[in-house]
Amino acid sequence: MRAGDGWLVRVKPPEQRVAAPIARRLAGMATLWGNGAIEITTRASLQLRGIAETALSDLAAGIRDAGLATNDPALEQRRNILVSPLAGDDPSIVGDPLALARGLATLLADPAFAGLSQKFSAIVDGGGVLPLAGVRADIRIALAAEGITITALDGTALASDAADAARAALALALRITLENRPPAPPPPPPSAGFLPYPGHRRGAFAVLPPFGAMLPAMLTTLADLSERLGDGWLRLAPGRVALIGGVDEASADALAAAAKTAGFIVDREDPSLGLIACIGAPECVGGDSPSRADAMALAPLLADDVPRPIHVSGCAKGCAHVGPAPVTLTGVGRAKDGGGLYDLAFAGSTERVGLQADYRLLSIAEAAVLLNRRPLESAALRTPAAPARPVP
């Protein structure tokens, strides 16, 4: 899709995992054909930004050649399958979510399911140390000791067995109407740091690039670390998380230190984890405010009891998060000092700007003072929209 900093190309690695050599190739593609910015999305895809129009076909060929996409554009649209990110490594995961996810991906190409929505999405969740509860999809396939349950977004549920679950899930998705999806809930809080597998001296290590954005050198470092201290794979999880599996408990500190030096967040208490921000101005020419820089400045100013996540958007388009959040700051212009001016909505989305906003034209410092002063009010004002009030 076209974005304010050039073409944005989304890559959906099958089963959300990329082998270290492929991750290095992706980093090279971002450098060669884009502006170097690589993002992990809230739904565990990758995005390369600032791609020149003349480079699009070369990049697409490179991505297909790396095994990260098929040749079928219609299938690629619908191939939105999230699987337990640590499947195959976390022994506490139930059943074989990877086999089920592969079965789903294969069946999506079957003409019998060509009528599925272009926005079709599915989750295959085997639990474990990083379950996918709280992440929304049209169809959720939950693997538990008692059996497999398939649940559609409209609440329809049915039991299945592993051999039939993929076909039954797609048949259910065909039967129900999902075009009017309600806005997605804010993502659950992401994990960071070492995640030990129960009863084992090994686990996975979760890192986050600040606001999901990294440079090619960061991705290359992560690939190197996965080979040196893990099993050689990078796994992606909802909430903009990258995971290295197969990490020995004794290596966790070394991995944390190296990832932190490379610029990753490795601490689940990091203040920026409760904030969502798009790239914003000036990188995005459509942006009214420098949302990412402002979110970075806002994070350490906030008290612990301010409700999160807080969505800081560079303009009303709301690319980083569609739908409501406990607090939404929507960029509407620039202050004299170069920082942004924001309209604030409690329990709203970027659509609540102007007279619909709860507070108008706040600098980031003013927003921090207001949120710290009124955490209880922020939590209580979930619905409906409060009348607009002047700048405090």
234 in Cβ contact with 243 (< 8 Å): yes
Binding-site string for ligand SF4 from residue 75 to residue 104, where x marks contact by CB under 6 A and - marks none = ------------------------------
* 3-class DSSP string for 90-141: CCCCCCCHHHHHHHHHHHHCCHHHCCCCCCCCEEEECCCCCCCCCCCCCEEE
Backbone angles phi, psi at 375, to 5 degrees: -65, -35
| Nearest-angstrom CA–CA distance, 91 and 258 | 26
CB of 212 to ligand SF4, least distance (A): 12
Among residues 218, 284, 298, 357, which is the contact residue for ligand SF4, using CB under 6 A?
A: 284
| 278 near ligand SF4 (CB under 6 A) | yes
CB of 71 to ligand SF4, least distance (A): 29
Q: Binding-site residue total for ligand SF4 (CB under 6 A)?
A: 14
CB of 333 to ligand SF4, least distance (A): 12
Specify the DSSP element, H or E, that contains 18: strand 17-19
| 188 near ligand SF4 (CB under 6 A) | no
Residues of this chain, 95-154, that bind ligand SF4 according to CB under 6 A: none
CA 5 to the chain's CA centroid: 20
Q: Which is nearer to ligand SF4, 314 or 326 (CB)?
A: 314
* Residue 357 tokens, joined: 């906003």
Among residues 286, 297, 301, 339, which is the contact residue for ligand SF4, using CB under 6 A?
A: 286
Q: Which is nearer to ligand SF4, 252 or 320 (CB)?
A: 320
* Residue 148 tokens, joined: 């497999």
Q: Which is nearer to ligand SF4, 12 or 292 (CB)?
A: 292
Q: Determine how many CB atoms are found less than 10 A away from the CB of residue 288.
A: 22
| 6 near ligand SF4 (CB under 6 A) | no
Residues of this chain, 297-356, that bind ligand SF4 according to CB under 6 A: 313-315, 317-319
Give the chain's radius of gyration (CA, Å): 21
Backbone angles phi, psi at 308, to 5 degrees: -135, 160
Among the listed ranges 43-51, 91-99, 157-165, 283-291, the one in contact with ligand SF4 (CB under 6 A) is 283-291
| Nearest-angstrom CA–CA distance, 234 and 11 | 14
Task: Give me the amino acid identity at 170.
Answer: L
CB of 39 to ligand SF4, least distance (A): 11
Please provide the distance, in angstroms rounded to a whole number, between the alpha carbons at the two ends of the chain: 39
Binding-site string for ligand SF4 from residue 222 to residue 261, where x marks contact by CB under 6 A and - marks none = ----------------------------------------
CB of 162 to ligand SF4, least distance (A): 41
Q: 61 to each of 18, 58, 67, 70, 109, how far by Cα in Å?
A: 17, 5, 10, 10, 20
| 212 near ligand SF4 (CB under 6 A) | no
CB of 297 to ligand SF4, least distance (A): 16
Binding site for ligand SF4 (CB under 6 A): 4, 278-280, 284, 286-287, 291, 313-315, 317-319
